[in-house]
Amino acid sequence: MRLLTTSAGRILCAAVLCVVATAAIAGAQSGTVTGQVVHATTREPLDGVTIEVLGAALETRTRANGRYTILSVPPGVYTISARKLGLRGREVSRVIVRSDQSATVDFELDSAEALATVRVEAGRPPVDLRGVASELVLTGEELRALPVVNLAEMLMLSPGFAVLGSAGSLQSLASQRRGDPTQISVRGARPGATVQLLDGIPINHPIFGTAAIDLNPLVLSSVGLSPGYMEAQYGGSVAGVVSMTLREGEERLSGQVDYQTTNASGLMGSGADAATASHHVRAVLAGPILDDRVRVMFGAQSRRAADRAVQFPTDGSATGFIGWNGFGAVDEDQLVGKVTVSPRPALRFSATGITQSRRTLAYDRRFLALYRATALRDLNPGAPVTAVDGLVQGSVSQQSHFLSLRAEQRLARASLAVTHAILGGERETCNVFSGVCLEDRFWRSTRRSNGLFDPFVSAESPVTGTATDFGGETFTSRVTRADVVVDAADHVRFQVGLQHSSHALALREISALTGTVGLVPTATNQYRTRPTETAVYAQSTFDYDFLLATVGIRAERGSAKGTGFALPLRATNGTTAEE
Facing residues of 427 across strands? 398
Rounded distance between C-alpha atoms, residue 576 and residue 2, angstroms: 12
The SS3 assignment for 366 reads: helix
Rounded distance between C-alpha atoms, residue 46 and residue 65, angstroms: 7
* pTM flag (> 0.85): no
Distances (CA, A) of 420 to 234, 247, 501, 575: 17, 18, 10, 41
Cα-flanking dihedrals φ and ψ of residue 443, to 5°? Answer: -115, 125
Q: Which amino acid is at 326?
A: G
Cβ-based burial of 249 (10 A; exposed 0-12, middle 13-18, buried ≥19) = buried
Distances (CA, A) of 410 to 37, 64, 229, 416, 487: 22, 21, 29, 6, 11
Distances (CA, A) of 9 to 507, 526, 527, 564: 11, 9, 8, 7
Pairing of strands 183-186, 465-466: unpaired
Rounded distance between C-alpha atoms, residue 238 and residue 230, angstroms: 8
Cα-flanking dihedrals φ and ψ of residue 181, to 5°? Answer: -70, 180
Where residue 287 falls (left for φ over 0; alpha for ψ -120 to 50; beta otherwise) is left
Q: For residue 242, what are the contacts with CB-CB under 8 A and spacing of at least 6?
A: 151, 155, 184, 194, 195, 196, 197, 223, 224, 225, 226
Rounded distance between C-alpha atoms, residue 259 and residue 276, angstroms: 16
Mind listing the pLDDT tens digit of every residue in the chain (579 residues)?
233 333 333 333 333 333 333 333 344 567 888 899 999 889 999 999 999 988 777 888 899 899 998 888 888 788 899 998 888 888 998 888 877 778 889 999 988 655 566 666 665 554 454 554 456 777 787 888 877 777 777 777 776 666 665 444 455 666 666 666 667 777 777 777 788 889 888 898 888 878 889 888 899 988 887 776 677 887 655 677 888 889 887 778 889 999 999 999 889 989 999 999 999 999 999 999 878 889 999 999 999 999 889 998 887 666 778 899 999 999 999 999 999 999 988 899 999 999 999 999 988 888 988 898 888 888 788 878 888 888 999 899 999 999 999 999 988 889 999 999 999 999 999 999 888 999 988 988 888 887 888 888 877 788 888 888 899 999 999 999 999 999 888 888 899 999 999 999 998 989 888 777 888 888 888 888 899 999 999 999 887 766 778 899 999 998 887 655 445 555 555 554 444
Cβ-based burial of 295 (10 A; exposed 0-12, middle 13-18, buried ≥19) = buried
Facing residues of 248 across strands? none
The single-letter DSSP state of residue 458 is B
Whole-angstrom Cα Rg for the chain: 28
Distances (CA, A) of 61 to 70, 75, 271, 412: 9, 21, 61, 9
Q: For residue 161, what are the contacts with CB-CB under 8 A and spacing of at least 6?
A: 155, 184, 185, 186, 225, 227, 240
Rounded distance between C-alpha atoms, residue 477 and residue 501, angstroms: 7
